[in-house]
Structure 1
């Protein structure tokens, strides 16, 4: 089936499976089916590439530590809020 022959309804079935593929939550047979669909369907391949890029960006962002200056400012603001709460001003 060519990319032009894929209908919207057919692709809807693959959207969730693409996420499972990216999360390594499909068995080998399901991986093969989804990968074949991706080879034949440009729009789903684009969606897969976008989902993969977002997943990589989030993973990279979550492993980075905030700069020390930012962490110090957050700590200071938390202390100020605690003081306001303790004094009944919040």
Structure 2
């Protein structure tokens, strides 16, 4: 552990970068910086864990299919709205 104590400005910068870090959109140098910061900063690590958990839940939810009955009701409602708009 480094003796560096992150300040608020550091954290705001890293909190923005955490999203890119989770999405693997940073180069290796930036990834290393984020990892070091997360090792040193408990509050940012907690926010990282929360973001990662939410991302995993959303990904899992997006892989499920809606039941056929629900899909049909949504199609019907979309069609009704389209008709109302075109008759507008």
Q: Which moved more, 1:29-38 or 1:54-63?
A: 54-63
Distance of aligned partners of 1:78 and 1:12 in 2 relative to their CA distance in 1, 3 Å threshold: closer
Aligned to 1:37: 37
The correspondence of residues 16-55 of structure 1 with structure 2, limited to 5 A, is 16-55=16-55
Distance, in Å, in 1 between the alignment partners of 2:3 and 2:47 is 17
Aligned to 1:7: 7
- Structure 1: 5+ residue stretches without partners: none
How many matched pairs? 87
Distance of aligned partners of 1:12 and 1:73 in 2 relative to their CA distance in 1, 3 Å threshold: same
Distance, in Å, in 2 between the alignment partners of 1:52 and 1:67 is 28
Distance, in Å, in 2 between the alignment partners of 1:85 and 1:19 is 38
Deviation at 1:30, TM superposition (A): 1.2
Distance, in Å, in 2 between the alignment partners of 1:83 and 1:14 is 48
- Structure 2: 5+ residue stretches without partners: none
SS at match of 1:65: coil
Q: Please report the TM-score for the alignment, with normalisation by the length of structure 1.
A: 0.77
Distance, in Å, in 1 between the alignment partners of 2:55 and 2:70 is 25
Higher RCO by CA contacts (8 Å cutoff, separation 6 or greater): 2
Q: Note the aligned Cα RMSD (angstroms).
A: 2.2
Deviation at 1:49, TM superposition (A): 0.6
